[in-house]
Structure 1
Amino acid sequence: MSMPNLRVRLFGIACLVMAIALPFCVSTYYTQFLAKALIMGMLAMSLNLVVGHGGLVSLCHAAFFGLAGYVLALLSPRYDAASLLTTLPIAILCSGTAALLIGALVLRTRGVYFIMVTLAFGEMLFFFFHDTKFAGGSDGISVNIRPEIAIAGRQLLDLDKPMTFYFVVLGFLVGVIALLTMVVRSPFGRALAAARDNERRARSLGFPIFRLRLTAFTLSGALAGVAGYLAAAQFGFVAPQMLGWHQSATILVMVLIGGLRSVTGPLVGALVLIGMEEVLKAHLDNWKLVEGLIIIGIVILLPNGVRQIWSMVFGASPQRAAEIKPAAAEARHA
């Protein structure tokens, strides 16, 4: 194993140890805040499978996120806790099916047309929940009791406890990272990247471009459903705003801040953006203006995201260096 790869693995292990230890060192507020940040990081990583590894900018990703939250709210009994082991697979299935159906239509377009069509589908789902009485309309719907993890009527984990919920979220996050890493490094992931870099050449080599992208889009939507389910469980409330285009745009900013060509880059971007907002809100009245200027500065100075700092300090592995050069070229020509 090369030295850069060893450093990356050791750093990843150190981050996991810190994530496990943090809830024991901070207050309940920050435990809940960290859980929220990890959920949004999970959502950003799911989007990056389409944007960074597939080369397709989607603006309907929040629709899959919010849809899973509504599934939990609608399936939850009024005076009892829903079973996570039952409702989570249904929420993932609904989000994945929606992504499959939408992807089958939008993936027939390219470039700015793809962006606009995904935006249109996202807004259609937003207004479906906003302008109808279904699921509470514009007022949203509550999840009165968090789902529970139980087998044969016996509760295994109490998700009402902030620390327990945090570790459940962390467990799902580690699973998503492992799954995406496996997908990106598989022949499927390499074929998807080839289609991103040169679609014409990949097509001439016989790659099924449409099927590759549709599979990635569906998997991405399903993983967004995991994040949406956990977000609804944490906040106890689901509203149409979860499906809006502004939510999709925020997720895209997280991806750009963290880095497009990395599995965990969007997670870093989510932590940076949410942490920055928390600090700026506490100290400034016009914090949105300052936040926008900081984001512009990051995009200009670090075109490969904040993870580029690691490469600048410790040097990139040969594989990572090969990824950085095309990304930097794209940023210069954008």
Structure 2
Amino acid sequence: MNPDRPALSGRVKAALVLFVLFALMPPLASALNDPFYILIGTRILAYAIAAMALDLILGYGAMVSFGHAAYLGFGAYAVAILQSYGVNDLILQILFAICISAVFAFVTGAISLRTRGVYFIMITLAFGQMAFFFFISLSAYGGDDGVALAHRSTVLGLDLLGTDYGLYYVTLAILIALFALCHRIVGSRFGRVLTGIRENPTRIEAIGFSPFRYQLTAFVISGCITAIAGVVLANQAQFVSPAFMSWHKSGELIVMVVLGGVGNLAGPIAGAVAALLLEEWLGALSKNWKLYFGIFLVLMVLFSPQGITGLLRKMGIVRGQE
């Protein structure tokens, strides 16, 4: 019996529960006659994609990227740039975002992966800030003020994203598809080697694998997936600005991963839900909501270092090691 099978099965079951709950949100919003839940729900789904992508390198590859929000910005600006040239198809915008992100991630990873620890973090932060200030300098797209989108993207000529409900369900479908992709990646030989590099890179290199190549490949894949989240966020907000790619956003993504559970693809999805809902609820209660959110995060780290999934495992709700 494969010892990894129970953990993988538990991860999929947890994700399926989350997907079912996501699917039930629009009917609930309709019953409550409150479209706000659809807007916040779409935002949660987009950040869940980005957090899951970050977990692919942070949780499985031990690469703490502090500039990962740059790829959110690339995805968002891909929509704005192509719309300015009359290209409104979502699929083309996603492909364009992936191409830009792949190149940037390859260059960033090729340089930063030659370092370790805090040096890796600082180099990824530096590249992220370079991208941030580059888009601030683009006056054609609003510079620091950003630019509003004239309309949402289309899908093969169909106006599937024209309503908030349509955008929500398309985003949910994208999240499910990308989760299946990431699940397949971490369960493959590539994923097992990546996890082995996290545990002992010297031993992995000794048995004939190149840690650099595997980590760089994972870094590029993660950046491309994050860019897809940026495309969704641009359509949800119908506005694009360099704020999408600030280092604060990178920090928020890391918080979502840690809050949900590192090294567990379903955990970051739960972390995105918890972080954004807490932001909304605490923000409605107090203007000092960040203080209370910080206290909550500290308590979570102290009493459940493995995040929400670790807490659920202690309670017997979730089984497995991931």
Q: Higher relative contact order by CA 8 Å / sep ≥ 6: 1 or 2?
A: 2
Change (3 A) 1:9 1:202: closer
Which of 141, 144, 152 is the aligned partner of 2:147?
A: 141
| Structure 1 residue 85: Cα displacement | 2.4
Please say if 1:109 is aligned against 2:122: no
Q: Residues 81 and 145 of structure 1 are in contact (CA less than 8 Å); yes or no, is this contact kept in structure 2?
A: no
| Structure 1 residue 315: Cα displacement | 6.7
TM-score, structure 2 normalization: 0.92
Within 2, Cα distance between the matches of 1:124 and 1:190? 33
Q: Residues 82 and 148 of structure 1 are in contact (CA less than 8 Å); yes or no, is this contact kept in structure 2?
A: yes
| Structure 1 residue 158: Cα displacement | 2.8
Which of 173, 176, 183 is the aligned partner of 2:175?
A: 173
Q: Identify the residue that residue 28 of structure 2 maps to in structure 1.
A: 25
Within 2, Cα distance between the matches of 1:4 and 1:214? 26
Which of 34, 47, 54 is the aligned partner of 2:41?
A: 34
Please say if 1:303 is aligned against 2:287: no
| Structure 1 residue 285: Cα displacement | 2.7
Within 2, Cα distance between the matches of 1:206 and 1:36? 42
Q: Residues 4 and 316 of structure 1 are in contact (CA less than 8 Å); yes or no, is this contact kept in structure 2?
A: no
Q: Identify the residue that residue 130 of structure 1 maps to in structure 2.
A: 136
Change (3 A) 1:121 1:9: closer
Q: Residues 12 and 266 of structure 2 are in contact (CA less than 8 Å); yes or no, is this contact kept in structure 1?
A: no
| Structure 1 residue 32: Cα displacement | 1.1
Q: Identify the residue that residue 61 of structure 2 maps to in structure 1.
A: 54
Q: Residues 51 and 253 of structure 2 are in contact (CA less than 8 Å); yes or no, is this contact kept in structure 1?
A: yes
Which of 156, 160, 163 is the aligned partner of 1:161?
A: 163
Q: Identify the residue that residue 83 of structure 1 maps to in structure 2.
A: 89
Matching of residues 151-300 of structure 1 within 5 Å: 151=157, 155=158, 157-300=159-302
Read off the aligned partner of 2:304 and give its amino acid letter: L
Among the aligned pairs, what percent are the same residue? 35
| Structure 1 residue 137: Cα displacement | 1.1
Q: Aligned pairs, how many?
A: 315
Within 1, Cα distance between the matches of 2:82 and 2:253? 26
Determine helix, strand or coil for the equivalent of 1:307.
helix
Read off the aligned partner of 2:47 and give its amino acid letter: M
TM-score, structure 1 normalization: 0.89
Within 1, Cα distance between the matches of 2:77 and 2:290? 29
Within 2, Cα distance between the matches of 1:6 and 1:68? 32
| Structure 1 residue 50: Cα displacement | 1.0
Within 2, Cα distance between the matches of 1:69 and 1:244? 13
Q: Residues 96 and 225 of structure 1 are in contact (CA less than 8 Å); yes or no, is this contact kept in structure 2?
A: no
Structure 1, unpaired ranges of 5+: 324-334
1:19-48 deviations in whole A, cap 9, x for unaligned? 212201112110111110110111011011
Change (3 A) 1:255 1:4: closer
RMSD of aligned residue pairs (Cα, Å): 2.0
1:185-228 deviations in whole A, cap 9, x for unaligned? 10000000000111111111111111000000000000001000
Structure 2, unpaired ranges of 5+: none
- Higher mean alpha-carbon deviation, 86-95 vs 132-141, is at 132-141
Read off the aligned partner of 1:241 and give its amino acid letter: A
1:237-262 deviations in whole A, cap 9, x for unaligned? 11111111111011001111011110
Read off the aligned partner of 1:170 and give its amino acid letter: L
Within 1, Cα distance between the matches of 2:314 and 2:164? 37
Read off the aligned partner of 1:49 and give its amino acid letter: L
Q: Residues 101 and 227 of structure 2 are in contact (CA less than 8 Å); yes or no, is this contact kept in structure 1?
A: yes
| Structure 1 residue 103: Cα displacement | 1.0
1:259-305 deviations in whole A, cap 9, x for unaligned? 11101111111110100111111112321111111111111111011
